[in-house]
């Protein structure tokens, strides 16, 4: 067996040879003639000259060997619907959706925005876009009109696919009114909106624009739509992620590099085997949902479970019941979910037969040691952390048991994954840190491996400026995370270097929340920081200076103003971005040059030493923060 150290070393030192081998894990219509064109760094063009198709690799190629095997298993504990689609059935449904898209005027290179709950039709839509060479942009169903409008305006979709409603915790969450409002707010107007009607919520139709999915599906029951073979570098999708400015960044992914990266990761990291079942509890609105609900498992010839519901409804055993029923071999969830389950009756964790399960992978936020220790003991299975980002599309750090079994260290996401030349960099000097357990910025030498972002949609300059210009005197990709590496090569993540926070695995830009709060008529100034939380990892807390402080003089009045501010965030960004608390102060801590002392505010909230405050303009400002937190 190859040692992992040699495997990783070869991926860096013999990049072309290594990735040529990994590229054999997918099917090509035209072979590539150059493994990596890095003639214009930091832009990398992987598998140049080749042609392939994501949908073909996820669906069509399995028809010859496993047509009647489960491919997509849709489970909704909200609507009590459970339906399995074989590869043959999935192939038919995707072709119907592809035919509908063509009917709506969508062609290769056009964008299609998908604003949907976790339903099978969302999977059909993503794969149908890939099939015809359209570029999908999935927007998380928890985002409100303002956030959705900014993404419509940036992606400029020809068509939008949506639904009347989602459901969460037994409650209907209507989508259509949010979508209509978003379109009205956006300067770009899509020509068509395709509605999947679940009969959960009545909605008005816009004449000439809105089309009914069921009607068009019936029209195209037997329509055959061949795969559009696209260049390796053809964009497969845009996925928006929060930035340190208010404007979201559209992460642009290629086709071939992504397919190869996912195929390799399913084998080397997740130990996925064709014919087995993969269960990721994420949402298609996030990168995990793209990579490891839809594309990764299907490319690997596995069945994938798409789940709508909570981990504790109808009871805390539902996920484990599905593991037993569908013989799940690999499961992927988030530390927050494990912390939620920890509060439930532990008998649910031993009630079902989990013998098929090889491991539970957790990612999306730092995995603390107590949670890892508890869930490991509770289900008696390996718990494997992994660390990555929307931008990378697959793990930067993990334990690659598919290459060489290795021990996990709770609290660590593991070692650098093959293809990633990870370095720890001194923030001040830009020099690499070789010393064990010394804090630095986690950075990656270019080129980034296959599957990572090509650029930011429509903004190459922002791509270079954001990711490749922050390391002093070095052109390196910055993750904007602090970390340390121990003497065994295991990394430990220490938190962000920028103003992005991680709430239950959802990345939120504090600037975006601040801009929303600032739109309230009585807000003069606001600072939003991420504060450590036992359940969610971090929560957003807002500190607000009011134009008229007298409206919040009493505790009851302050709560009314707080509720009004939270409502503004709900309406503009969605409940996912709502601060846990809004605190009122008379002045915010700033340097003499006017820069907000966010890290000092965060430190006070978490009961830590705020550090050097000699540059602070008003020494009493931090005391106000402290008093407001205590009150």
pLDDT confidence of 623, banded at 50, 70, 90?
confident
**Nearest 10 degrees: Cα torsion 596, 602, 604, 608:** -130
Q: Could you tell me the residue range of the domain that residue 592 belongs to?
A: 504-630
Q: Looking at residue 245, what is its pLDDT?
A: 56
Q: Which helix (H) or strand (E) holds 561?
A: helix 555-572
Do 443 and 518 lie in one domain? The reply is: no
Candidate from 50-59, 72-81, 263-272, 505-514 with smallest mean pLDDT: 505-514
What is residue 510's three-state secondary structure? helix
pLDDT confidence of 377, banded at 50, 70, 90?
very high
Mean pLDDT of 407-413: 91
491 pLDDT more than 70: yes
Do 52 and 168 lie in one domain? The reply is: no
Q: Looking at residue 372, what is its pLDDT?
A: 87
Question: What whole-number percentage of the chain has pLDDT above 70?
Answer: 96
622 pLDDT more than 90: no
Q: Looking at residue 241, what is its pLDDT?
A: 87
Q: Looking at residue 596, what is its pLDDT?
A: 73
Is 67 part of any domain? no
Do 469 and 411 lie in one domain? The reply is: no
77 pLDDT more than 60: yes
124 or 570, higher pLDDT: 124
Do 145 and 24 lie in one domain? The reply is: no
Do 201 and 127 lie in one domain? The reply is: yes
Given a contact cutoff of 8 angstroms between Cβ atoms, the answer to whether 151 and 113 are in contact is: yes
Of 422, 438, 455, which residue sits at a domain end?
422
Mean pLDDT of 491-518: 77
Beta carbons within 8 Å of 555's beta carbon, 6+ residues apart? none
Q: Could you tell me the CATH number of the domain that includes residue 98?
A: 3.40.50.980
Q: Average pLDDT of the chain? A: 92
Do 431 and 405 lie in one domain? The reply is: no
Measured between alpha carbons, how far is 309 from 412 in angstroms, rounded to an integer?
29
Of 223, 257, 288, which residue sits at a domain end?
223
Q: Looking at residue 627, what is its pLDDT?
A: 81
541-554: pLDDT as tens digits: 999 989 898 988 89
Measured between alpha carbons, how far is 212 from 197 in angstroms, rounded to an integer?
8
Measured between alpha carbons, how far is 51 from 248 in angstroms, rounded to an integer?
30
Burial of residue 204 (CB within 10 Å: 0-12, 13-18, 19+) is exposed
Measured between alpha carbons, how far is 452 from 419 in angstroms, rounded to an integer?
11
Q: Looking at residue 74, what is its pLDDT?
A: 98
Do 565 and 523 lie in one domain? The reply is: yes
Measured between alpha carbons, how far is 537 from 351 in angstroms, rounded to an integer?
28
Mean pLDDT of 11-29: 98
Candidate from 253-267, 435-449, 526-540 with smallest mean pLDDT: 526-540
DSSP string, 300-313: TT-EEEEEES-TTS
Q: Looking at residue 369, what is its pLDDT?
A: 79
Do 459 and 561 lie in one domain? The reply is: no
Mean pLDDT of 440-445: 95
Measured between alpha carbons, how far is 101 from 216 in angstroms, rounded to an integer?
10
Question: What whole-number percentage of the chain has pLDDT above 90?
Answer: 72
Mean pLDDT of 284-300: 96
Q: Could you tell me the CATH number of the domain that includes residue 478?
A: 2.30.38.10
Q: Could you tell me the CATH number of the domain that includes residue 397?
A: 3.40.50.12780
Q: Looking at residue 612, what is its pLDDT?
A: 61
230 pLDDT more than 60: yes
Residue 360: strand pairing partners: 331, 383
State the maximum Cα–Cα separation within the chain, in Å, rounded to a whole number: 72
526 pLDDT more than 90: no
pTM above 0.75, yes or no: yes
Candidate from 302-306, 310-314, 360-364, 367-371 with smallest mean pLDDT: 367-371
Measuring CA to CA, which residue among 96, 30, 85 is closest to residue 62?
85
Q: Looking at residue 207, what is its pLDDT?
A: 96
Is 260 part of any domain? yes
Given a contact cutoff of 8 angstroms between Cβ atoms, the answer to whether 245 and 294 are in contact is: no
Q: Looking at residue 411, what is its pLDDT?
A: 84
pLDDT confidence of 280, banded at 50, 70, 90?
very high
Candidate from 80-94, 255-269, 271-285, 331-345 with smallest mean pLDDT: 331-345
Do 402 and 345 lie in one domain? The reply is: yes
Do 407 and 312 lie in one domain? The reply is: yes
Q: Domain tally for the chain?
A: 4
The length of the chain in residues reads 631
pLDDT confidence of 328, banded at 50, 70, 90?
very high
Measured between alpha carbons, how far is 303 from 301 in angstroms, rounded to an integer?
7
331 pLDDT more than 90: yes
Mean pLDDT of 168-175: 94
Do 243 and 367 lie in one domain? The reply is: yes
Do 122 and 106 lie in one domain? The reply is: yes
């Amino acid at each position: 067996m190859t040692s992992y150290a040699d495997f990783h070393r070869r991926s860096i030192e013999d990049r072309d040879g290594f990735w040529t081998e990994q590229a054999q894990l997918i099917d090509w219509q035209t072979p590539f003639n150059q493994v990596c064109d890095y003639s214009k760094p930091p832009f990398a063009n992987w598998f140049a000259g080749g042609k392939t198709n994501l949908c073909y690799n996820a669906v069509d190629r399995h028809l010859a060997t496993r047509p009647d095997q489960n491919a997509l298993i849709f489970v909704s504990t909200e609507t009590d619907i459970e339906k399995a689609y074989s590869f043959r059935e999935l192939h038919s449904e995707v072709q119907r959706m592809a035919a509908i898209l063509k009917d709506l005027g969508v062609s290769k290179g056009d964008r299609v925005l998908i604003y949907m709950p976790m339903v099978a039709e969302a999977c059909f839509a993503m794969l149908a876009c890939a099939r015809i060479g359209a570029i999908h942009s999935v927007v998380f169903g928890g985002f409100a009109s303002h956030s959705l409008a900014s993404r419509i305006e940036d992606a400029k979709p020809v068509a939008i696919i949506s639904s009347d409603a989602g459901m969460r915790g037994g409650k209907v969450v209507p989508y259509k009114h949010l979508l209509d409002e978003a379109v009205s707010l956006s300067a770009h107007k899509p020509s068509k909106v395709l509605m999947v009607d679940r009969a959960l919520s009545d909605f008005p139709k816009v004449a000439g624009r809105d089309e009914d999915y069921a009607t068009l599906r019936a029209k195209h029951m037997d329509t055959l739509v061949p795969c559009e073979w696209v260049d390796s570098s053809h964009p497969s999708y845009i996925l928006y992620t929060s930035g340190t400015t208010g404007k979201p960044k559209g992460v642009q992914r290629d086709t071939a590099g992504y397919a190869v990266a996912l195929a390799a990761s399913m084998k080397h990291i997740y130990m996925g085997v064709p014919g087995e079942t993969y269960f990721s509890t994420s949402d298609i609105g996030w990168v995990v949902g793209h990579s490891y609900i839809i594309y990764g498992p299907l490319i690997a010839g596995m069945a994938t479970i798409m789940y709508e519901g909570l981990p504790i409804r109808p009871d805390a055993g539902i996920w484990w019941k599905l593991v037993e029923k569908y013989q799940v071999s690999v499961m992927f969830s988030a530390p927050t979910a494990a912390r939620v389950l920890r509060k439930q009756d532990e008998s649910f964790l031993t009630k079902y037969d989990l013998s098929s399960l090889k491991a539970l992978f957790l990612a999306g936020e730092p995995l603390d040691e107590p949670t890892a220790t508890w869930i490991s003991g509770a289900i008696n299975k390996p718990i494997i952390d992994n660390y990555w980002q929307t931008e990378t599309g697959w793990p930067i750090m993990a334990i690659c048991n598919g290459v060489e079994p290795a021990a996990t260290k709770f609290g660590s996401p593991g070692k650098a994954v093959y293809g990633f030349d990870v370095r720890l960099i001194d923030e001040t000097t830009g020099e690499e840190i070789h010393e064990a357990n010394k804090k630095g910025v986690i950075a990656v030498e270019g080129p980034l491996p296959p599957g990572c972002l090509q650029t930011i949609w429509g903004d190459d300059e922002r791509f270079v400026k954001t990711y490749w210009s922050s390391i002093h005197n070095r052109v390196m990709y910055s993750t904007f995370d602090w970390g340390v590496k121990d003497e065994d090569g295991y990394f430990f993540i220490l938190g962000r270097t920028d103003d992005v926070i991680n709430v239950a695995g959802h990345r939120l830009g504090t600037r975006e929340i601040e801009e929303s709060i600032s739109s309230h008529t009585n807000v003069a100034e606001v600072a939003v920081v991420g504060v450590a939380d036992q359940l969610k990892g971090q929560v957003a807390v807002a500190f607000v200076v009011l134009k008229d402080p007298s409206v919040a003089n009493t505790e009851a009045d302050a709560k009314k103003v707080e509720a009004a501010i939270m409502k503004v965030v709900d309406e503009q960004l969605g409940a996912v971005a709502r601060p846990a608390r809004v605190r009122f102060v008379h002045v915010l801590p700033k340097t003499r040059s006017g820069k907000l002392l966010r890290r000092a505010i965060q430190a006070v909230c978490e009961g830590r030493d705020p550090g050097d405050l000699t540059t602070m303009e008003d020494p009493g400002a931090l005391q106000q923060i402290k008093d407001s937190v205590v009150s």
